[in-house]
Amino acid sequence: MATSDFQDYPLWRETNYGMIKSIHEEYDGILIIPMTIVSPLYFDEIVGRLRRDGIPVHHFALCATKETLLKRLRSRGEGERSWAARQVDRCLEGLSLPVFDRQMQTDTMTIAEVAETIASAVGIPLLPDGRGKLRRMYDKVMTQIRHIRFLQ
Element (H, E) at 71: helix 66-75
> Residue 145's pLDDT is what?
83
> Residue 152's pLDDT is what?
45
What is Dmax (Cα atoms) for the chain?
A: 50
> Residue 1's pLDDT is what?
63
Walk along the chain (152 residues) and give the pLDDT tens digit of each residue. 677 788 999 999 999 999 999 999 999 988 889 888 999 999 999 999 999 999 999 999 999 999 999 999 998 888 889 988 999 999 999 999 999 989 999 999 988 899 999 999 999 999 999 999 999 999 988 887 887 765 54
CA dist 94 and 98 (Å) reads 9
Burial class from Cβ neighbours inside 10 Å (0-12, 13-18, 19+) for residue 108 reads: exposed
Q: How long is the chain? A: 152
CA dist 69 and 84 (Å) reads 10
> Residue 149's pLDDT is what?
64
Burial 10-23 (b: 16+ CB within 10 A, else e): eebbeebbeebeee
Superfamily (CATH H level) for 6-23+30-146: P-loop containing nucleotide triphosphate hydrolases (3.40.50.300)
CA dist 135 and 26 (Å) reads 33
